[in-house]
Amino acid sequence: MTTPTAPPATPTIQQGPALHITGPLRDRFDEILTPEAIAFLSELHHRFAARRHDRLADRMRRRFEIGNGHDPRFRDDTRHIRDDADWRVAGAGPGLEDRRVEITGPTDPKMTINALNSGAKVWLADQEDATSPTWANVIGGQLSLRDAIRGELSFTSPEGKTYEVTAEQTPTIVMRPRGWHLLEKHLTFIDRTGRSMAASASLVDFGLYFLHNAKSLIDSGRGPYFYIAKLESSEEAKLWDDVFTFSEDYIGIPHGTIRATVLIETLPAAFEMEEILFELRDHCAGLNAGRWDYIFSIIKNYRGRGARFVLPDRSEVTMTVPFMRAYTELLVKTCHSRGAFAIGGMSASIPNRRDPEATAKALEKVAADKKREAADGFDGTWVAHPDLIPTAQAEFDAVLAGRPNQLDRQRDDVNVRAEDLLDLRIGRPITSKGVRDNVSVAIRYIEAWLRGLGAVAIDNLMEDAATAEISRSQVWQWIHQDRSTEDGTRITPEYIEGLIAQVLAEATRSAGDRFDDAAEVFREVSLGTEFPAFLTLSAYSKFLVETD
């Protein structure tokens, strides 16, 4: 049973820093960037931009502490939250009661239509890792969502084929705005120091979607629902909760209408799952095991801590290794003890209809992954391709036996300690193939990202930014920890440069490709002395906007 906090009184709207549109106004952009929308974004920045900067400073401080030998622990100052057995989160809103299979993908018109026709229970409409944040994609994605929610979306391909939403029952939309660390350079505001600053991408994505669609979603029997990415602390969750409360009051809808599902995809957040649920409890539907970004976060935080924290080939870091088992089992136990949904990780396979044998093997792996998740108590899972939905749903149906979820299943058998979350022992070598694969997939993904593609088919997998982040961070760590491959080859900058040359030589080049720029980005984020926190920050500021 939910124990809601009393909503604050309706706020007095103050004149905040005016946002200025610096990007070009293309066809129909004025339908999204309305005066009302800009006024709302201005208010969000006036109230929350400074706190966002404070939370990002906290991240840097925490990362410095871990890098200097202070392992994360379950917090003493919030023990009272964990020890209080009575509180619960708000739980599922209308249309979120059944989340057995969720499809993820970007918000361009074609992918929006494909997702809505997919037969999934939920669509994660992704403005974050699966979207390259060109100005056209950011505002175009908002237009796709607006049109889809109103039943007005169609798309005609350059070849003249028309796509429309034909499904009688479409998935519930859960939109994922960009994380707190990201900026939107096509909108600027004056910060507390008087400087002109790029807007917060989180507040822009959330604000535009919420203002334009919240009431239409409520009228349709659903609601404004969000996936929250890259959180690292309960204080960051509290910031989102305050954003939600203010926004509900701003447009006059009941407190708690918004529902958020938080991705636990950073190491610090794994130690604060209950606290995150608590801070968002009036608006929270559940947690998701964002496994690829979680692996990236561990590498990022422990990149300089010695050989014990070096992971082998990316393909060997599976969901059955000790630290990943501890993380996912703790997530299920935490969620169900508080009435929250636990949503499993991504299956990114792309079935190859021209190769039945390869497709059968891929579906076998997907089935095994989803069978494990369902047996562990997850209430649903993610897939990246519509053809995976029947396989994933069959595994959950077998366990759920007619129930829409497993919230009644408590995992009292789980007892995860801090050291379990940090048990990185895998016992496998780094291979020359693993190193080359990392260089290859990272450069190919970055190249597509620079051309405006955020979800990219590479080697029969649908990849997003998380794959490139793991790949480049492993290369950086292997170099700085003086690692060698299984055949004795030292992993050095020179060795990686040779692999970069091979990848570029084998690439299918065409007019307008961005392989040379992608290689430069990769060098900066994997071969430099310093470790950039996110490759997308560097790529966005130096490369993406120049050609947008």
- Which CATH number do you get for residue 530? 1.20.1220.12
Q: Domain range holding 446?
A: 429-544
Q: Are 227 and 195 in contact (CB under 8 A)?
A: no
Identify the pLDDT of residue 11: 45
Q: Is 100 helix (H, G, I), strand (E, B) or coil?
A: coil
pLDDT of 2 > 50? The answer is no
User: b vs e for 249-258, b when ≥16 Cβ sit within 10 Å of the residue's Cβ?
Assistant: bbeebebbbb
Q: Which residues pair with 463 in a beta bridge?
A: 456
* Residues 339-375: tens digit of each pLDDT: 999 999 999 898 887 888 889 999 999 999 999 999 9
pLDDT tens digits for range 435-449: 999 999 999 999 999
Residues 374 and 474 grouped into a single domain: no
- Asked if 408 and 436 sit in the same domain, the reply is no
Whether 119 and 219 map to the same domain: the answer is yes
Are 158 and 283 members of one domain?
Answer: yes
pLDDT surpassing 60 at residue 3? no
First vs last C-alpha separation in the chain: 49
Domain assignment present for 173: yes
Backbone angles phi, psi at 347, to 5 degrees: -110, 115
Total number of domains constituting the chain = 2
Query: Which residues have a catalytic role annotated?
Result: 176, 464
> Under a CB-based contact definition with an 8 Å cutoff, are residues 241 and 283 in contact?
yes
Residues 6+ apart with CB under 8 A from 27: none
Q: Is the CB of residue 248 less than 8 Å from the CB of residue 257? A: yes
Residue 188 and residue 270 in one domain = yes
pLDDT beyond 70 at 547: no
CB atoms near residue 221 (< 10 Å): 9
pTM for the predicted model, two decimal places:
0.95
Element at 525 (helix H, strand E): helix 515-526
Chain mean position to CA 415:
27
Rounded-to-integer distance, Cα 336 and Cα 81, Å: 16
CA distance linking residue 102 with residue 173, whole number of Å: 10
Residue 7: pLDDT band with limits 50, 70, 90: low
The pLDDT value recorded for residue 14 is 45
Confidence of residue 6 (pLDDT cuts 50, 70, 90): low
